[in-house]
C-alpha cells in the first residue's frame, strides 16, 4: 500500500509541475467521456445484433465522425471565422452524440436495476450470484427512442434551417397614438450570412418577408458571423427587402468581429466599418445609439436603436444616449440585440419603453415547441427571455428566433422566424 501511495504521489507531482498546454486537460477529459459513451452505446448494439458487420459499421462511422471533428478543431484557424467545414463537423458531432446520450440513460438505468437485483439476491440467500445479463428489450427501446433525435438532427441540417415560420402578434396599448392603430412591423434578426450555402432557400425567406407587406421592417442584429465579406454574395438578395415606410437596423454581438483572431487591430477596425456599411448597401438605416421619429397623420412614435449590450460582455449600447431628445410620454419601440439588456436594464426603466425587439439567442436552434402545451430549449437556462413574446410591468419584449443559423448548421424544433407585430390602440 505504501508503494502505491508513493507511486501516485510521484505521478501527481510530475503532472502538476509539467508544462502542459491549457487545452490539453479539457481534451483529455473529453476523450475519456467519449470513450465511456461509446463503450456504453456499443453494448446496446451487441445486445440486439450478433452481426459483425453491424457492429463494425457502428464503430467505423463513430470513429469517422470523431476523427473529422478533432482534425477540424485542431486545424481550425480563427482568422478565417466559422467555415462551413467547421459548422458541419460540429453538426455531425451533435447529430451522433446526442442520441447516444439517450441510449446511456436507458442502459445506466438498467445497470442500476441489475445491481439492485444482485444485492437483493445476496441479502436474501447469502450467495454471490452473477449480475443478470442485459435485456434485449431495453437495448431495442433505447435505440428506438434515440432514433428520434437522430432523425430530427438530420432533418434540421438538411431542411429545418430553411423552415421559415411567420409568427404574428397583436399588441394593444392605451397610449398608442391613434394614427398608428393597425400599424404593422416585421422583425427579423440574426441573419448570419457567413453560414449560408443555399441561395434559392435564402431567396425564398426574403420573399416571405416581403409578402408580409408591413409598414416597417426592423432588423435586430448579427448580419454576419465575423467578417464583412461574408455578405458580399448576398447583398443582391437582401437589398430586395422592402417595407412601406422604412427599414431600420442595429448591430449584434457578432458584427463587432470579436470572435476571431485578426492579424492587426486595424484589420478589426476596418472590418467593423465595412460591416456598418453593409446596412447602407441593402437599404437599412443603421441606428447606433440613436433614435428616429416615425410620423403618420400628425402623430409620431419613437424608434430607438442601441449598439449591442449583453450581460457580462460587450456592453457597447448606450440607452441614455439613444433616448436623448425623446420625451417620456412618447410611445417608444426599442431595438436591442441581446434580451438580457431588457432583463437587466430596460424593463424597469421609468422612461417606459413600451416594446423592445431582440434576437441573439436563436432558441439555441434546438428544442421542443408545441403551441399552448410545451416550450423548451436549453437556451432557457441561460436567458429568462429566450424566444417569443414576454410581458412585465405592462412592457413587452419579443425575442426573435433568428433568420439564419450559427455554429450548428441546422435547426431542430426551433425554426427560423419572421415576426409580424400589429399595434392596436386599446
**Model confidence over 231-259: pLDDT tens digits?**
999 999 999 999 999 999 999 999 999 99
Q: Are residues 248 and 317 in the same domain?
A: yes
User: What is the band of 129 on the pLDDT scale with cuts at 50, 70, 90?
Assistant: low
More confident residue, 71 or 275: 275
Q: Are residues 28 and 151 in the same domain?
A: yes
Q: What is the pLDDT of residue 209?
A: 98
Q: What is the pLDDT of residue 124?
A: 76
Q: Are residues 133 and 181 in the same domain?
A: no
Q: What is the pLDDT of residue 111?
A: 80
Mean pLDDT of 364-382: 93
Handedness of CA 206, 211, 216, 220 (dihedral sign): negative
**Contact between residue 180 and residue 331 where contact means Cβ atoms under 8 Å apart:** yes
Q: What is the pLDDT of residue 11?
A: 42
Q: What is the 3-state secondary structure (H, E, C) of 117-174?
A: HHHHHHHHHCCCCCCCCCCHHHHHHHHHHHHHHHHHHHHHHHCHHHCCEEEEEEEEEC
User: What is the band of 108 on the pLDDT scale with cuts at 50, 70, 90?
Assistant: confident
**Contact between residue 165 and residue 415 where contact means Cβ atoms under 8 Å apart:** yes
Which positions ≥6 away from 191 have C-beta within 8 Å? Answer: 219, 222, 223, 224, 238, 403, 404
Q: Are residues 18 and 130 in the same domain?
A: yes
% residues pLDDT > 70 (the chain)? 92
Q: Are residues 80 and 130 in the same domain?
A: yes
Q: Is residue 365 pLDDT above 70, yes or no? A: yes
- Into how many domains does the chain fold? 2
**Contact between residue 323 and residue 317 where contact means Cβ atoms under 8 Å apart:** no
Q: Are residues 65 and 195 in the same domain?
A: no
Which residue from 256, 205, 141, 248 is spatially nearest to 411, judged by alpha carbons? 205
Tell me the per-residue pLDDT of 36-78, one tens digit each, with 9 for 90 and over.
888 878 888 788 878 888 888 888 998 999 899 888 888 877 7
Q: What is the pLDDT of residue 352?
A: 95
Handedness of CA 131, 134, 138, 143 (dihedral sign): positive
How far lies 368's CA from each of 102, 373, 418, in Å? Answer: 16, 10, 18
User: CATH number for the domain including 342?
Assistant: 3.60.21.10
Q: Are residues 65 and 185 in the same domain?
A: no
More confident residue, 13 or 160: 160
Q: Are residues 154 and 250 in the same domain?
A: no
Give 214's strand partners: none
User: What is the band of 184 on the pLDDT scale with cuts at 50, 70, 90?
Assistant: very high
Q: Is residue 13 pLDDT above 50, yes or no? A: no
User: What is the band of 21 on the pLDDT scale with cuts at 50, 70, 90?
Assistant: low
Per DSSP, the three-state class of 184 is strand
Domain endpoint, select from 140, 158, 176: 158
Q: What is the DSSP string of 356-400?
A: EEE---GGGGB-EEETTTEEE-GGGGT-SS-SEEEEETTEEEEE-
Give 89's strand partners: none
Q: Are residues 278 and 377 in the same domain?
A: yes
> What is the C-alpha R_g of the chain?
27
More confident residue, 59 or 340: 340
**Contact between residue 147 and residue 44 where contact means Cβ atoms under 8 Å apart:** no
Q: What is the pLDDT of residue 14?
A: 46
Mean pLDDT of 335-341: 98
Mean pLDDT of 401-414: 96
User: What is the band of 402 on the pLDDT scale with cuts at 50, 70, 90?
Assistant: very high
Indicate the DSSP class of residue 310. B
Q: What is the pLDDT of residue 107?
A: 83
Q: Are residues 307 and 368 in the same domain?
A: yes
Mean pLDDT of 362-379: 94
Domain ranges, residue 98: 2-158
**How many Å apart are CA 206 and CA 60, to the nearest integer?**
41
**Contact between residue 425 and residue 180 where contact means Cβ atoms under 8 Å apart:** yes
Domain endpoint, select from 158, 175, 195: 158
Q: What is the pLDDT of residue 122?
A: 74
Mean pLDDT of 173-182: 96
Give the containing element (helix H, strand E) for 300.
strand 299-305
User: What is the band of 319 on the pLDDT scale with cuts at 50, 70, 90?
Assistant: very high
User: What is the band of 23 on the pLDDT scale with cuts at 50, 70, 90?
Assistant: low
Indicate the DSSP class of residue 112. H
Q: What is the pLDDT of residue 1?
A: 43
Domain endpoint, select from 158, 186, 203: 158
Q: Are residues 229 and 101 in the same domain?
A: no
Q: Are residues 127 and 276 in the same domain?
A: no
Q: Is residue 156 pLDDT above 60, yes or no? A: yes
More confident residue, 113 or 211: 211
Amino acid at each position: 500500500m505504501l508503494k502505491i501511495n508513493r507511486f501516485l504521489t510521484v505521478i501527481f507531482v510530475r503532472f502538476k509541475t509539467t508544462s502542459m498546454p491549457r487545452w490539453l486537460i479539457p481534451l483529455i477529459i473529453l476523450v475519456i467521456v467519449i470513450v465511456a459513451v461509446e463503450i456504453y452505446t456499443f453494448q446496446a448494439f451487441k445486445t440486439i445484433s450478433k452481426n459483425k458487420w453491424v457492429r463494425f459499421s457502428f464503430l467505423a462511422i463513430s470513429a469517422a465522425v470523431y476523427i473529422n471533428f478533432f482534425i477540424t478543431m485542431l486545424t481550425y484557424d480563427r482568422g478565417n471565422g466559422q467555415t462551413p467545414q467547421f459548422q458541419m463537423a460540429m453538426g455531425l458531432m451533435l447529430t451522433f452524440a446526442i442520441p447516444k446520450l439517450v441510449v446511456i440513460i436507458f442502459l445506466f438505468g438498467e445497470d442500476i436495476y441489475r445491481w439492485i437485483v444482485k444485492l437483493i439476491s445476496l441479502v436474501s440467500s447469502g450467495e454471490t450470484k452473477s449480475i443478470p445479463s442485459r435485456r434485449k428489450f431495453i437495448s431495442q427501446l433505447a435505440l428506438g427512442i434515440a432514433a428520434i433525435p437522430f432523425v430530427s438532427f438530420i432533418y434540421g441540417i438538411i431542411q429545418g434551417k430553411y423552415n421559415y415560420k411567420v409568427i404574428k402578434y397583436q399588441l394593444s396599448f392605451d397610449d398608442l397614438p391613434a394614427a398608428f392603430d393597425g400599424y404593422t412591423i416585421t422583425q427579423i434578426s440574426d441573419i448570419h450570412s457567413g453560414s449560408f450555402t443555399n441561395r434559392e432557400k435564402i431567396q425564398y425567406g426574403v420573399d416571405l418577408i416581403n409578402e408580409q407587406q408591413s409598414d416597417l421592417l426592423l432588423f435586430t442584429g448579427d448580419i454576419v458571423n465575423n467578417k464583412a465579406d461574408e455578405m458580399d454574395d448576398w447583398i443582391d438578395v437582401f437589398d430586395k427587402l422592402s417595407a412601406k415606410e422604412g427599414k431600420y437596423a442595429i448591430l449584434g454581438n457578432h458584427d463587432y468581429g470579436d470572435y476571431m483572431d485578426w492579424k492587426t487591430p486595424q484589420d478589426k477596425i476596418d472590418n467593423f466599418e465595412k460591416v456598418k456599411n453593409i446596412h447602407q448597401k441593402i437599404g437599412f438605416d443603421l441606428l447606433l445609439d440613436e433614435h428616429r421619429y416615425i410620423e403618420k397623420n400628425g402623430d409620431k412614435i419613437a424608434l430607438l436603436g442601441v449598439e449591442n449590450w449583453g450581460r457580462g460582455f460587450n456592453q457597447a449600447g448606450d440607452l441614455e444616449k439613444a433616448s436623448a431628445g425623446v420625451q417620456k410620454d412618447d410611445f417608444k419601440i426599442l431595438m436591442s440585440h441581446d434580451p438580457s439588456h431588457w432583463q437587466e436594464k430596460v424593463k424597469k426603466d421609468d422612461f417606459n419603453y413600451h416594446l423592445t425587439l431582440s434576437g441573439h439567442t436563436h432558441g439555441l436552434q434546438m428544442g421542443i415547441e408545441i403551441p399552448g402545451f410545451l416550450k423548451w430549449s436549453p437556451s432557457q437556462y441561460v436567458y429568462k427571455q429566450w424566444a417569443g413574446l414576454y410581458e412585465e410591468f405592462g412592457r413587452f419584449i419579443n425575442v426573435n428566433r433568428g433568420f439564419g443559423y450559427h455554429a450548428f448548421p441546422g435547426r431542430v424544433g426551433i425554426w427560423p422566424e419572421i415576426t409580424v407585430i400589429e399595434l392596436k390602440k386599446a
